[in-house]
């Protein structure tokens, strides 16, 4: 998935920077310990401040911070760049203890739900290659929509709407679940998210059957 690749790229860069800082600090510490064990007499400086050295230190940290922020912002922009067409809107409603998905852009406002008992799990159907906007709210207590494989997670509150936009680049089906303890049957509050081709999605939206099976 594109978002997994972008997350991996950001993580690699941040890990390299963190590893570099760790190695430098470790090397300086080792050098100080070796000098100490060698018995060298080091005279402490009488200067209370070292403005130039401190300036270099702050400058280096500032450069690393700016680079990391800029890199992360650029990658985030790649993932969430403005779509050429309005996003597909899906209204997500959570309740004890299952999910309901509404499609307001369908001719007759399609709605998918379930009981989250046994195999009766609702399926969140989305098209590939299109921006999808989820609008999440809760009917009762706080829940949290979580799709571990896709690394999507957002809290769902009563009397409040949270939104996020994503794009899936290939077809597939993944398990989602509630990540916020919400009562007795929290452990069974699962759903499917299924990505299909735009054509299949449009046919299903117009009233066709089978795509969400």
How many angstroms separate the CA atoms of 190 and 179, rounded? 10
Whole-model pTM: value is 0.64
pLDDT per position as a tens digit, 90-136 = 999 999 999 999 999 888 889 999 999 999 999 999 999 999 999 99
Q: CB under 8 Å to 188, separation ≥6 — which residues?
A: 97, 116, 117
**Least confident interval from 25-29, 80-84, 118-122, 123-127:** 80-84
- Bridging pattern class, strands 123-127 and 110-113: unpaired
pLDDT per position as a tens digit, 4-17 = 666 677 778 878 88
How many angstroms separate the CA atoms of 118 and 104, rounded? 28
The pLDDT assigned to 80 comes to 56
Query: Looking at the DSSP assignment, which residues form a beta bridge with residue 133?
Result: 89, 165
**Least confident interval from 22-26, 152-156, 208-212:** 208-212
The pLDDT assigned to 176 comes to 96
The pLDDT assigned to 154 comes to 94
Average the pLDDT over 184-202 and give the result: 95
The pLDDT assigned to 184 comes to 93
Spatial CA neighbour of 92 closest among 65, 116, 122, 69: 122
Of residues 94 and 1, the one with the higher pLDDT is 94
The pLDDT assigned to 212 comes to 55
- Average pLDDT score over the chain: 85
The answer to whether residue 43 scores a pLDDT higher than 70 is no
């Amino acid at each position: 998935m594109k978002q997994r690749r972008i997350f991996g790229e950001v993580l690699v860069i941040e890990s390299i920077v963190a590893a570099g800082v760790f190695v430098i600090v470790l090397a300086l510490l080792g050098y100080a310990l070796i000098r100490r064990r060698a018995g060298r007499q080091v005279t402490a400086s009488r200067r209370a401040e070292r403005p130039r050295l401190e300036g270099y230190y702050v400058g280096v940290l500032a450069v690393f911070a700016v680079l990391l922020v800029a890199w992360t912002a650029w990658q985030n922009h790649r993932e969430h760049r403005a779509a050429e067409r309005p996003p597909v809107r899906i209204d997500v409603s959570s309740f004890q203890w299952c999910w309901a998905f509404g499609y307001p852009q369908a001719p007759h406002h399609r709605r998918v739900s379930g009981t989250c008992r046994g195999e009766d799990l609702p399926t969140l159907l989305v098209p590939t290659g299109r921006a999808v906007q989820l609008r999440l709210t809760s009917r009762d207590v706080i829940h949290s929509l979580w799709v571990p494989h896709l690394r999507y997670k957002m809290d769902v509150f009563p009397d409040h709407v949270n939104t996020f936009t994503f794009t899936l680049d290939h077809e597939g089906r993944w398990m989602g679940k509630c990540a916020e303890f919400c009562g007795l049957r929290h452990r069974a509050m699962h759903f499917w998210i299924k990505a299909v081709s735009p054509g299949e999605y449009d046919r299903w939206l117009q009233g066709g059957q089978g795509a969400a099976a």
